[in-house]
Structures are given as structure tokens and as C-alpha cells.
Amino acid sequence: MIGKLKGTIDEIAEDHVVVDVHGVGYVAFCSARTLGNLPEAGVAVELFIETYVREDAIRLYGFRGALEREWFRLLQSVQGVGAKVALAIIGTLSASELANAIALRDIAMVSRAPGVGKKVAERIVTELKNKAPALAGDAAGTMGLKQELGEGVASAPVTDAVSALCNLGYSREQAANAVSAALGKAGDDADSALLIRLGLQELSR
């Protein structure tokens, strides 16, 4: 079982990279995000590997970090999500964006990934709502939204506040983090106006 590859990049293709390790070329299938962040051919690289062994083939999947690999594994625990779909999701959304989407039950965000329909996206945010906090990565603070609300389902004032801050030009991650902090101060019964005001105070710090 291969868990990591360290070598030099031999070739970068549309859906995989060939890593030369002491003269042996290993083909590792990667997400579009990973492939786009790889250095050029001839440069040293280290990839975390997930090895799939089938009766007729051995396939390697490569990731720049352990967190991305864990998301790849976790996503496939959801019915209807195989390796191809899992790669498409982590290639479209970063670990923090995916954690935010699950925390806020943002089905539309997850559906942005190629090959992910509404039903599959809904299963992802529902089935992973209790598992995502451990894999939040940089979005650990954002996951406070889920913890504050208990069930991982954001209330209307919360989603309205996040949307409003995004409309003001803040990124979704910034907005979610700010609203999470605001919710902690104002309590679960706070309306969207209060959350927006407190959220703006957090963002102005």
C-alpha cells in the first residue's frame, strides 16, 4: 500500500500526474485544484497517496496535503459519491469552503462541483454534518455555526446575514466566520440585522 510519493514531476496530464521516484514513474490521479497547484516538470514534489486496489488494476490518487486526502475518503462514505465525484468536489471547493457549505447546509455550493446534482449534494451536507468539524481545516472557527445551532442546520437569520455580508464584498469564508462570532455573542435568537451589525464589527477589527 502506497501512502506517499516523493520524487520529481515527469508529466502533468488532464487528470493525473506522473511522479518519477528513482526512475519509476507513478501515475497519480488528482483533482483539478491539485494539478493546477503543482510545479512544472522536473521539479521535486511530495504527494499524499490513497491507493485503490481492484481485481484488474491498482490506482493511485494524489493530494498535496493529508487534509485533502481525508476529505476524499470522507466524501466517499456518502451514497452516490465515488472517487471521480469526490475528486470533482475537492477540486471545486477548498477544505474550508466545503466545511462552510456543510455547516450552513449550502446545497447550491456543493452542487457547483461537476457531476454533483442536488440530491447528492443534499446527502453530502446531511450525512457529513456531524463529521465535517474534524476536517474543517482553516474553517475551524466557521464550524462554530454548526456547534451553536446543534444540528448543523443554519437558521434563516444566519444564512441571510452571511448572504448580506457576501453582497458587501466579503468572501463567503470571511462572512461565515464573522457571523459565527456574532452568533456566539448575540445568541441563537438574534435576528439577521443584529448578526449583520455584529458581523461587520468583527470584520472591521
Least confident of 22-26, 37-41, 85-89, 200-204: 200-204
Res. 75: pLDDT tops 90 = yes
pLDDT digits (tens, 9 = 90+) for 123-144: 998 898 777 655 555 544 444 4
Q: Which of 79, 47, 73, 82 is nearest to 62 (CA)?
A: 47
Residues 6+ apart with CB under 8 A from 193: none
pLDDT value for 180: 77
Residues in the chain: 205
Residue bearing the bigger pLDDT, 112 or 174: 112
Residues 6+ apart with CB under 8 A from 155: 149, 188
* 146 band by pLDDT with thresholds 50, 70 and 90: very low
**68 alpha-carbon distance from chain centroid:** 7
Residue bearing the bigger pLDDT, 173 or 61: 61
pLDDT digits (tens, 9 = 90+) for 28-37: 999 999 999 9
pLDDT value for 156: 80
pLDDT value for 143: 46
CA end-to-end span of the chain? 48
Share of the chain above pLDDT 90, in %: 47
Same fold, 4-64 and 66-150: no
Least confident of 101-115, 146-160, 161-175: 146-160
> Is 4-64 in CATH node 2.40.50.140?
yes
Pick among 1.10.3470, 3.40.720, 1.10.8, 3.40.109: CATH of 155-205: 1.10.8
> Class of 66-150 per CATH?
mainly alpha
Rounded to an integer, the average pLDDT of 132-161 is 56
Res. 62: pLDDT tops 90 = yes
* 5 band by pLDDT with thresholds 50, 70 and 90: very high
SS3 46: strand
pLDDT value for 150: 39
Domain ranges of the chain: 4-64, 66-150, 155-205
Widest pairwise Cα distance in the chain = 62
Q: Which of 176, 169, 178 is nearest to 201 (CA)?
A: 178
pLDDT digits (tens, 9 = 90+) for 77-122: 999 899 999 999 999 998 878 887 887 778 888 999 999 999 999 9
Q: What's 161's DSSP letter?
A: H
Average pLDDT, the chain: 84
SS3 123: helix
